[in-house]
Homo-oligomer: A and B are copies of this chain.
Amino acid sequence: MHLTGMSLIGARSGAGTQESFRGFAPGTGTVLEPPFFVASSEEVNAAAAVSSKAFPIYASIPGSGRAHFLRAIAAKLQSAETELAERAHLETALPLPRLRSEIARTAGQLRLFASVVDEGSWSLPRIDHADSNRKPAAKPDIRSMLRPLGPVAVFGASNFPFAFSVAGGDTASALAAGNPVIVKAHPAHPGTSELVGRLIQESVVECGLPEGVFSLLFDSGPRVGEELVAHPLIKAGGFTGSFAAGRALFRIAANRPEPIPFYAEMGSTNPLFVLPRALASSGQKIAEDLYSSFTLGAGQFCTKPGLIFVGESAGLQDFFSALGAKVEESASFTLLTDRIRQSYDKTARDRERNTNVQVFTKAQIAPSGSACAAPAVVYRAEASVFMEDASLAEEMFGPSTLLIACKRKEEILECARRLHGHLTATIHGTAEDLQEYAELLPVLVTKVGRIIFNGYPTGVEVCHAMVHGGPFPSTADSRTTSVGTLAIHRFARPICYQDCPDALLPGELQENNPLNVWRLVDGEFTNARSC
Contacts and interface: CB of A to CB of B under 8 A. Distances in A.
Contact of A442 (B60, B115, B259, B446): B60
A148 to B, nearest CB: 9
Contacts of A501: 431, 434, 453
Interface string A46-90: 000000000110011000000000000000000000000000000
Interface residues of A, number: 80
B259 A472 contact: yes
A455 interface: yes
20 contacts: A56-B442, A126-B464, A126-B465, A128-B461, A139-B461, A142-B466, A144-B465, A144-B484, A147-B445, A149-B478, A250-B259, A251-B255, A259-B472, A259-B477, A450-B498, A451-B498, A467-B495, A471-B493, A481-B494, A518-B525
B496 A450 contact: yes
A107 B255 CA distance: 37
A286 B450 CA distance: 54
A140 B496 contact: no
Interface string A491-531: 01111111111001000000000000010101101010000
A134 to B, nearest CB: 10
Contacts of A403: none
Contacts of A139: 461
Given A254-B259, A525-B525, A495 B464 contact: no
Contacts of A494: 449, 467, 469, 479-481, 486
Copies of this protein chain in the complex: 2
A258 B471 CA distance: 9
Contact of A452 (B250, B446, B484, B498): B498
Contact of A144 (B250, B486, B518): B486
A185 B527 CA distance: 43
A277 to B, nearest CB: 14
A449 B126 CA distance: 14
Contacts of A495: 445, 448-451, 467
A175 interface: no
Contacts of A455: 140, 498-499
Contacts of A492: 479
A137 interface: yes
Given A121-B525, A127-B465, A261-B477, 9 more contacts: A101-B136, A128-B465, A144-B486, A254-B259, A449-B495, A453-B499, A467-B494, A467-B495, A479-B494
Given A139-B461, A144-B486, A525-B527, A258 B473 contact: yes
A451 B473 CA distance: 38
A481 B144 CA distance: 11
Interface string A142-171: 111001011000000000000000000000
